[in-house]
Chain A
């Protein structure tokens, strides 16, 4: 009888000890979270959920005749062009653009990623991602953190881009690895969404989402989705995705200047 009581006490003690260990572990987890909160946040470069740097090549498997070669004047299929936008595009004059040095109007940020290009992506510093295209030799700077455009604001082909590693859960949690690159671009000069003069205006907004997918064989694909909103020239936001395949090196890099034609 006494041994039974002793055994029962021993079991009770074991259960209590196990409970204490679990409770301490839980407290330790909470404490760890608080400790992290007191540390400075990692730089955007250190916090990157994926490595976007390196050389990438467009994969033009869709809308080929509208992207790989300059389409005919008046070919607006695939763009929700408005009546005002169509009027402007119908009046597009390639020779005039060339004469006044406007060859780069189709290479602005809203249309750039959909062109047949290679991308060279590097970190300019811990908070700035630099994206260079060989087609048209354009440079986009994607600023993370609390960066604000310098005053007075200046418009440009690539505008001012603010980037963030965003959660698919709308900022409410999710693993750090589940984030994607979200880019908001303002201060754009007017330009073309397509090389045949389909216009966007200075008040166009550009929001971009960038994912990187790794394949089981080690290949990597970047999918760059852009949402262009321009009520003056578009009837509805223009949502378009472009795909890029990771290149082993810079051997395909072929810088070519802007062209209003080819």
Chain B
């Protein structure tokens, strides 16, 4: 009898000391579930729906010489090739694409433990899985896939994700390349009903230093479809066995931004220093401010109705 009482004391004390009042512990982190409408103001040019930025616009990207050379031989017609038609759609698309996000947890039914966060709502891309169960990344010899491999942890109520094993793709939708050695660290930081994603892309092949991008989203009651048809290979009429490209020194768009916006070429071609305030001094006497905005495809002047309110 005395033993039973003692055991009961232990059980009650341990329960009161170690468990929250409602039984099972709450999941880690904060709630991210829901539909998040893109507010593409931070990078209105890079995240613009449609064709994306103009062809030779590398401003602010810490490109090395190899990355710049690879960018300059790129022709937008490459994404009409069956082999490359899905090149945009890597996990980096969360930072460079125009879409909103649908986020939901994948939980164990008995314990509620969050095994993964899922992010869908992407156009042309299957939902991305962010593994939260502590599983390791694959071996460095493992195959790289379009979806990459992403794990996540909560750091001070910010979801920090790390993506490896991506295939070669792009970090700007005008052909600025990312290699299969690129990794992405993304921070999902929620404040009230605003979600800001800060992405850091590291790529020893094409970048001299990490490339930081941010995007903001607003929680919306209008549900975004968690899944869409993934990118499908089709025939867009590109001649077989030919890769559309420009030979070195022959990209016809290399001076386009200079003509359209008066921006000197040393800025247009990017590099780490172009992202810093001090760079303005270098171009102050070379920049020619246009007298008025000129709309060109994929770079309109905006105006009323461009960004409708969200529900």
- Chain B residue contacts of A57, Cβ below 8 A: 276-277
Q: Report how far A241 CA is from B191 CA in the complex, Å.
A: 13
- Chain A residue contacts of B299, Cβ below 8 A: 77
B284 to chain A, nearest CB (A): 6
B17 and A25 contacting across the interface, CB-CB below 8 Å = yes
- List 6 A-B pairs, minimum CB-CB distance, nearest first: A78-B44, A26-B17, A62-B43, A77-B302, A19-B9, A76-B302
A211 and B196 contacting across the interface, CB-CB below 8 Å = yes
Does A232 lie at the interface of the complex (its beta carbon under 8 Å from any beta carbon of B)?
A: no
Does B78 lie at the interface of the complex (its beta carbon under 8 Å from any beta carbon of A)?
A: no
The residue that B293 contacts in the complex, of A63, A72, A243, with Cβ under 8 A, is A72
A41 to chain B, nearest CB (A): 20
Chain A 17-42: CB-based contact to B (< 8 A → 1; otherwise 0): 01110110110010000000000000
In this complex, which of B40, B43, B48, B291 has the most chain A Cβ atoms within 10 angstroms of its Cβ? B43
A73 and B291 contacting across the interface, CB-CB below 8 Å = yes
Does B173 lie at the interface of the complex (its beta carbon under 8 Å from any beta carbon of A)?
A: no
Q: Report how far A251 CA is from B189 CA in the complex, Å.
A: 31
Interface residues of chain A, those whose CB is within 8 Å of chain B, are 8-9, 11-13, 15-16, 18-20, 22-23, 25-26, 29, 49, 57-66, 68-83, 85-86, 116-118, 134-135, 166-170, 174-175, 177-178, 180, 182, 209, 211, 213, 215, 221, 223, 225, 227, 235-243, 245, 252, 254, 261-262
Does B10 lie at the interface of the complex (its beta carbon under 8 Å from any beta carbon of A)?
A: yes
Q: Considering only CB atoms, which chain A residue lies closest to B211 in the complex? A: A61
Q: Report how far A149 CA is from B203 CA in the complex, Å.
A: 48
B275 and A65 contacting across the interface, CB-CB below 8 Å = no
The residue that B13 contacts in the complex, of A9, A22, A182, with Cβ under 8 A, is A22
B10 and A15 contacting across the interface, CB-CB below 8 Å = yes
B9 and A63 contacting across the interface, CB-CB below 8 Å = no
Does B6 lie at the interface of the complex (its beta carbon under 8 Å from any beta carbon of A)?
A: yes
Interface residues of B in 98-130 (CB under 8 A from A): none
Task: From B80-88, B238-246, B303-311, give the one contacting chain A.
Answer: B303-311
A180 to chain B, nearest CB (A): 6
The residue that A241 contacts in the complex, of B61, B157, B196, with Cβ under 8 A, is B196
The residue that A64 contacts in the complex, of B5, B30, B60, with Cβ under 8 A, is B60
- Chain B residue contacts of A77, Cβ below 8 A: 44-45, 48, 299-302, 306
Q: Report how far A211 CA is from B155 CA in the complex, Å.
A: 12
- Chain A residue contacts of B60, Cβ below 8 A: 59-62, 64
Interface residues of B in 6-40 (CB under 8 A from A): 6-7, 9-10, 12-14, 16-17, 30, 39-40
Q: Considering only CB atoms, which chain B residue lies closest to A67 in the complex? A: B60
- Chain A residue contacts of B289, Cβ below 8 A: 69-72, 261
Does B218 lie at the interface of the complex (its beta carbon under 8 Å from any beta carbon of A)?
A: yes
Q: Report how far A178 CA is from B29 CA in the complex, Å.
A: 10
Other A-B contacts than A60-B60, A60-B274, A68-B267, 20 sampled, CB-CB below 8 A, are: A25-B17, A49-B156, A57-B277, A61-B60, A61-B212, A64-B274, A65-B263, A73-B293, A77-B301, A78-B44, A78-B45, A118-B277, A175-B157, A209-B196, A227-B194, A235-B304, A237-B218, A241-B215, A242-B42, A252-B278
The residue that B16 contacts in the complex, of A9, A26, A72, with Cβ under 8 A, is A26
A59-B196 contact, Cβ under 8 Å, with A16-B9, A168-B191, A225-B216: no
Q: Is the interface of A mostly helix, strand, loop or mixed?
A: mixed
A195 to chain B, nearest CB (A): 10
Interface residues on B, range: 35 or more
B61 to chain A, nearest CB (A): 7
B45 and A169 contacting across the interface, CB-CB below 8 Å = no
A236-B310 contact, Cβ under 8 Å, with A63-B45, A223-B196: yes
25 contacts between A and B (CB under 8 A): A15-B7, A22-B10, A25-B17, A29-B17, A60-B60, A61-B60, A63-B43, A64-B60, A64-B267, A64-B275, A68-B280, A72-B290, A73-B293, A77-B299, A77-B300, A77-B302, A78-B41, A81-B304, A83-B304, A175-B156, A209-B192, A223-B214, A239-B194, A239-B218, A262-B284
- Chain B residue contacts of A23, Cβ below 8 A: 9, 12-13, 16-17
- Chain B residue contacts of A76, Cβ below 8 A: 293, 301-303, 306
Does B283 lie at the interface of the complex (its beta carbon under 8 Å from any beta carbon of A)?
A: yes
Q: Report how far A68 CA is from B284 CA in the complex, Å.
A: 10
Q: Considering only CB atoms, which chain A residue lies closest to B283 in the complex? A: A69
The residue that B309 contacts in the complex, of A8, A68, A117, A235, with Cβ under 8 A, is A235
B30 and A168 contacting across the interface, CB-CB below 8 Å = yes
Interface residues of B in 160-219 (CB under 8 A from A): 187, 189-192, 194, 196, 198, 200, 210-216, 218
A174 and B9 contacting across the interface, CB-CB below 8 Å = no
A236-B307 contact, Cβ under 8 Å, with A60-B276, A62-B42, A225-B194: yes
